[in-house]
Amino acid sequence: MQNSNKLLQSIGIPFAALLSVVFGLLLVSFPIGIFVVFESDIGDDINYEYPFTHLDLFVGTDFYQAPIDVSIGDVFVVLWVLYLILFVIAILGPKHNFLKTLTPIISFGRYDDRLNYMIGVTKWFSILILISALINFVQEGFGIEIVPPLDDNDLIQFFYVSLAPLIEELGFRLLLVGIPLFALYSHKSSLRYFFTCLWNPNFLHIYDSKKAIILIIFVGILFGFTHVAFGDSWSEGKFAQATASGIILGWVYLRYGFVASLLIHWATNYFIFSYANFISQINMISINDAFSHSLMSTLELLLLISGAFSLCILFVNRFYSKKELDLEI
């Protein structure tokens, strides 16, 4: 299959370059997020010392305004360290590191994205952004707009979007996808095997993926519904976009495991808002105006191009793999 190798190699060079740039931007967002929370005036009349239990998240519970000496800055640092640890894990594993996995496609036109988590993260994050942009473009043609939930304080909003990936991935991927997958496909009953399969469903013997795909689509629809179902949620236009994102995250979880799905969700929230808030603070403009800034437009364009190349190499690789299998048969 020399022609397939040449084609994959020709696409793979810009593909690898784009994924490397996306990776670099993701890495830089870590210090940017720390600067935004601890060194800027993002919170106006409040700062990182604001009590964690005073958040609206706890309204109606016994925790609300309880005298617990934990600030949103404390919780943010815990989240930040957790995401950083997972980010390092994604760079190094599960089998090869990020750069070593990119090299074969540049040199030989060979491609296996399951050797490294970060390849899957950068590729599918780009695809998710591309598909979200296409959905938004189509919906705007029909007059359907996506309006985010309002929050009076940018610091609280940034804290929530940093917390949401962990909570939502634990709920929608581990509980609603991981546990049913284990019930459907497991051949062992040990506790260690259970948690191993929750971490990465690849350890399951999924001989018939139809049930898994149906489950992922169902949970994806539920994921979309929860984004618009409540009074202070997104507008109805978010349903299609969130559903598509939920299905992609479910597929990523099935193929690569929890590390990849969580980091992609983290990238759609923390990564994007860290840059937007940084631009807002540096230029002394509102967060809404920051999303229209030329730097954010450049980041979006880069991710769209990366998503297009990722889809292209995905289809080319699948086409030649299927053709090679047919020849063997």
**Tens-digit pLDDT profile for residues 41-76:** 998 889 999 999 888 888 888 888 888 889 999 999
Beta-bridge partners for 274: none
**pLDDT exceeds 60 at position 236:** yes
**Tens-digit pLDDT profile for residues 242-286:** 999 999 999 999 999 999 999 999 999 999 999 999 999 999 998
CA–CA separation, 251 vs 260, rounded Å? 10
Q: Looking at residue 320, what is its pLDDT?
A: 65
Torsion of CA 16, 21, 22, 28, to 10 degrees: 150
Q: ∠ CA 299-273-266 to the nearest 5 degrees?
A: 95
SS3 192: helix
Nearest in space to 268 (alpha carbons), one of 158, 167, 128: 128
**pLDDT exceeds 90 at position 133:** yes
**Tens-digit pLDDT profile for residues 76-129:** 999 999 999 999 999 998 888 888 888 887 777 677 778 899 999 999 999 999
Task: With cut-offs at 50, 70 and 90, classify the pLDDT of residue 324.
Answer: low
**0.85 surpassed by pTM:** yes
Q: Looking at residue 44, what is its pLDDT?
A: 85
DSSP 8-state symbol, 269: I
Q: Looking at residue 326, what is its pLDDT?
A: 46
Angle of helix 258-266 relative to helix 238-256, nearest 10 degrees, comes to 150
Q: Which residue has the tokens 């979309």?
A: 224
CA distances 280 to 113, 159, 174, 234, Å, are: 36, 16, 35, 22
Most confident of 51-55, 191-195, 217-221: 217-221
Contact 109, 8 (CB under 8 A): yes
Contact 79, 162 (CB under 8 A): yes
